[in-house]
Amino acid sequence: MADLSNTFLGIKSPNPFWLASAPPTDKAYNVERAFEAGWGGVVWKTLGEAGPPVVNVNGPRYGAIWGPDRRLLGLNNIELITDRDLEVNLSEMTEVKKRWPDRALIASIMVPCEEQSWKDILPRVEDTGCDGIELNFGCPHGMSERGMGAAVGQVPEYIQMVAEWCKHYSSLPVIVKLTPNITDIRYPARAARAGGADAVSLINTISSIVSVDLDSFSPNPSINGKGSHGGYCGPAVKPIALNMVAEIARDAETRGMPISGIGGITTWRDAAEFIALGCGNVQVCTAAMTYGFKIVQEMIDGLSDWMDEKGFVSIEDFRGLAVPNVTDWQYLNLNYITKARIDQELCIKCGRCHIACEDTSHQAITSMVDGVRHFEVMDDECVGCNLCVNVCPVDDCITMVEMIGGTDPRTGKQIDRDYANWTTHPNNPMARQAAE
């Protein structure tokens, strides 16, 4: 039986599944239910300054993208940080941590970019007995208009500055939560490290308009006929998150920095992928908001069963195994040649592979052979692009098979099994220059 127990920045939790700072972690009531359901830890909903709390809109806060059976694929929100009094939150956090000493409890904080604000709140947070702090430099909506959240996360110098304050005024581990609303995620990550932060967590939500009402012409969610961009999350954002995690994991300046992975994690498999790209643990929000806290049971079982199958005893056994395999395009092996193969036994003759290839790609799949509806790859046209695999509705019906010898009928060239990439390719002007 695999050991899912997790230590992240020295913070122990029975499993690597934390709930992200968000509506599900806004109150003791919710957090206690999460712990009862089995979640390893929570990042408490973001705290603001002492005094009158922020207020939220009183109309809809969420919008969504659905599949045809209303499976929720992407969620968008315009909710702000906690709108409960700081004192109430701090006392509840203290109580909950006492009752659940084996679970991780992290305080998420967002206060103005002034040293005094951070100096004021940090000791009070530390007094709750929580295990660490997460700096919310990510929320792209609402708070960013007030110079907080993503407005900080988009300026590496601010990130470094605030991280330094936090390390100075608090003894707790510091996690910097990054916004994806930036051109190159490596810069804010480097700034976090330069500021002494212990880890980064990512991604926060993506600036988004989830839909437009074609009757009122208001963006959704609509507040009295107007809409404001929100933060996009859920299964739809996972590929964006995975890339950003990988960029930080393989960057020379941030390599080895602990990462808490966030972004569309819905099943154990999603979690395993983030961990394979170097994350020390994962945070979940939308999946819980869609299905309730019970989903963690599937995540725990699924991850554990997969680890047993693979012979991994602990999370550390497979953490980061995919990182060395993330590379730049220029280093991809151009001598690796594949052709699509259609399993005629499995083919249901829908013709999607044909029309996708015929209309939009390489005219490499037949539709009719000897007067009979028949779909087959023409190797002399197939560039191995994988589009047919992606549009085929049948599992494993079309596969990409590597050519390991002979001649590629498309190019007429002998298969060369030695590795060769763009940097040395004769068509690369840079390579020619180097040779001259």
Partner 1 sequence: MTMMPDKPDVRPARLPDTDYADNFSDIHPPLTAHEALVESDRCYFCYDAPCMTACPTSIDIPLFIRQIAAGNPKGAAKTIYAENILGGMCARVCPTETLCEEVCVREIAEGKPVKIGLLQRYATDRFMERDYPHPFIRAAPTGKTVAVVGAGPAGLSCAHRLASLGHDVVILDARPKPGGLNEFGIAAYKTTNDFAQDEVDFILGVGGVKIETGQMLGRDFTVDGLLSRYDAIFLGMGLPGVNDLGLAGEDADGCVDAVDFIARLRQADDLSQLAVGRRVVVIGGGMTAVDVAMQSKLLGAEEVTIAYRRGEEHMNASAYEQELARTHGVVIRHWLQPSALTVDDRGAVTAITLEFTSMDGGRLAGTGETVTLVADQVFKAIGQNFADNPMEGSGIAFERGRIRADADRRTSHPKVWAGGDCVFGGEDLTVASVEDGKIAAMSIHRTLMGLLE
- Rg, Å, the chain Cα set: 25
Q: Which residues, numbered 183-212, are part of the site for partner 1 (CB under 8 A)?
A: none
Residue 149 has which token pair?
């959240």
Stretch of 41-49, 61-69, 83-91, 130-138 contacting partner 1, by CB under 8 A: 61-69
- Binding of residue 67 to partner 1 (CB under 8 A): yes
- For the chain, how long is the longest CA-to-CA vector? 80
Residue 418 has which token pair?
């030695």
Stretch of 62-70, 78-86, 154-162, 271-279 contacting partner 1, by CB under 8 A: 62-70
CB of 286 to partner 1, least distance (A): 22
CB of 369 to partner 1, least distance (A): 14
CB atoms within 10 A of CB 130: 22
CB of 5 to partner 1, least distance (A): 42
Active-site residue, from 130, 139, 382, 392: 139
Stretch of 87-95, 107-115, 286-294, 347-355 contacting partner 1, by CB under 8 A: 347-355
| Bridge partner list, 121 | none
What does the alpha-carbon distance between residue 43 and residue 159 come to, in Å, rounded to a whole number? Answer: 19
Select from 68, 256, 324, 412 the one that contacts partner 1 (CB under 8 A): 68
Stretch of 12-20, 65-73, 176-184, 332-340 contacting partner 1, by CB under 8 A: 65-73
- Binding of residue 351 to partner 1 (CB under 8 A): yes
Closer of 69 and 418 to partner 1 (Cβ): 69
Eight-class DSSP state of 149? T
- Binding of residue 348 to partner 1 (CB under 8 A): yes
CB of 225 to partner 1, least distance (A): 22
Determine contact, residues 245/236, Cβ cutoff 8 Å.
Answer: no
For residue 258, say if its preceding peptide bond is cis, omega within 30 degrees of 0.
no
| Bridge partner list, 65 | 74
Nearest alpha-carbon partner for 137 in 116, 114, 174, 109: 109
Stretch of 68-76, 169-177, 196-204, 312-320 contacting partner 1, by CB under 8 A: 68-76
Closer of 67 and 429 to partner 1 (Cβ): 67
- Binding of residue 355 to partner 1 (CB under 8 A): yes
Residue type, 105: L
- Indicate if 285 belongs to the active site: no
What does the alpha-carbon distance between residue 231 and residue 289 come to, in Å, rounded to a whole number? Answer: 15
Select from 349, 413, 425, 432 the one that contacts partner 1 (CB under 8 A): 349
Pairing of strands 41-47, 17-19: parallel
Determine contact, residues 148/179, Cβ cutoff 8 Å.
Answer: no
**Binding pattern for the stretch 363-392 against partner 1, x by CB under 8 A and - elsewhere:** ----x-----x-------------------
Closer of 68 and 412 to partner 1 (Cβ): 68
Q: Count Cβ atoms within 10 A of the Cβ of residue 17 and give its class: 0-12 exposed, 13-18 middle, 19 or more buried.
A: buried
Select from 1, 10, 69, 396 the one that contacts partner 1 (CB under 8 A): 69
Q: Is 339 helix (H, G, I), strand (E, B) or coil?
A: strand
Eight-class DSSP state of 3? B
The footprint of partner 1 (CB under 8 A) covers 67-70, 348-352, 354-355, 367, 373, 393-394
* Residues identified as active-site: 139
